Structure 1
Amino acid sequence: MTVEINSCPCGSEEVSRNGQTRHGKQNYKCRECGRQFVLNPAWKAITKEQQELIQRMLLERISQAGIARVLQVSEDTVQRYVNARAVVVKKQVSRSTKPKKRLNVQMDELWSCVDNKGNQQWVWLALDAQTREIVGVHIGDSSAVSALALWNSMPPVYRQCAVIYTDHWSAYDSVLPSKRHYSVDKDSGCTSYIERFNCTLRQRVSRLVRKSLSFSKKLENHLAAIWSFVHHYNASLQL
């Protein structure tokens, strides 16, 4: 049976009924282009403006369920956007160009987890004390292997010229150049900027709040959330 429904994107009126969807709605099929569709679908693709709004809300510690309620879209729609974003987010620091001179870097590590507390993911960070930029990031375990990965994530000029201040975590001692590395107490003030950034990171990324229902279930999304905020933070320093 053919019905006249001028709803197919191709403009054809040669549309026939084609069974029902799993939600019980009448399904239609265009005889000319072969497209299947329903009238007044409950699901609609999010617009570019909504995508930008989702990204801004994710940077303000709003949960995915909260975003879905605000935008009046399904949580699955928000999750699909987050999953797609995780694939394309750049996992390398963007920072301003530095000349070869003495640079001061502060390093620290931040505990987090994925899916459960047994799956620990430590966030290792390096910050330029002069510009406040994040110049190195690694997410992994708490071993010297991760400390080395953080060291390698920094641009060459920092590895060649920077004086580095850390806490007394032993993993740093086996990796950082001994003549340019200083282990200090918190009350020294030499790691105050990176410790303050850790607080900012926890406040702005809901996945890092200790007592929260917004924890990550996928490592890829966990990494993307942290990297997205780092890029946003560094970009805001240039304004």
Structure 2
Amino acid sequence: MSETLIKPDANDMDATVLESDELWSFVLKKTRQAWIWIALCRKTRQVVAYAVGDRSEQTCRCLWKAIPLPYRKGRCFTDFWAVYQAVIPEDQHTATGKEAGETAHVERWNNTLR
């Protein structure tokens, strides 16, 4: 996937700002949940990484590791799901509510998937 990403401009602080969120779907029946975790570049609206699993810290770590290094150095906005705080470095992470609009792009992407 990294071959198709726009390389972030090192001089543009906004080029590596990410919005991350997770949504669930199911496989054959609702008791077989699958969570899709997405990291979206705010500036380009590109999905820079994703992970599929449960809603655990382990899956969040898989998402974080899948984010290309230049993007992993930028700010990351998420909802208040506690596992984000356990995985994303504190100085880069901002947990925010939907009303603030800081995760609006990734929320819109998730609505498109739904």
How does the TM-score come out when normalised to structure 2? 0.91
Pair 1:115-2:25 in alignment: no
Displaced runs of 4 or more, over 4 A = none
Greater CA radius of gyration, 1 or 2? 1
Which residue of structure 2 lines up, in the alignment, with residue 135 of structure 1?
Answer: 48
Which residue of structure 2 lines up, in the alignment, with residue 168 of structure 1?
Answer: 80
How does the TM-score come out when normalised to structure 1? 0.45
Higher RCO, 1 vs 2 (CA within 8 Å, ≥6 residues apart): 2
**Bigger share in strand:** 2
Quote the offset at 1:96 in angstroms.
1.2
Quote the offset at 1:141 in angstroms.
0.5
Q: Deviations over 1:115-173 (max 9, x none)?
A: 2111110000011001111111001000000111111111110112x100000001101
Q: CA RMSD in A?
A: 1.2
2:67 to 154, 158, 181: 154
1:126 to 34, 39, 42: 39
CA distance in 2, matches of 1:99, 1:193: 20
What's the secondary structure of 1:121's corresponding residue?
A: strand
What's the secondary structure of 1:179's corresponding residue?
A: coil
Pair 1:179-2:91 in alignment: yes
Pair 1:98-2:27 in alignment: no
CA distance in 2, matches of 1:145, 1:187: 28
Quote the offset at 1:100 in angstroms.
2.8
What's the secondary structure of 1:130's corresponding residue?
A: coil
Counting only pairs closer than 5 Å after superposition, residues 9-158 of structure 1 correspond to structure 2 as 92=1, 94-101=4-11, 102=13, 103-158=16-71
Give, as a single letter, the amino acid of the residue that structure 2 aligns with 1:175: V
Calculate percent identity across the aligned residue pairs.
Answer: 35
Work out the number of aligned pairs and report it: 110
What's the secondary structure of 1:100's corresponding residue?
A: coil
Pair 1:198-2:96 in alignment: no
CA distance in 2, matches of 1:146, 1:108: 12
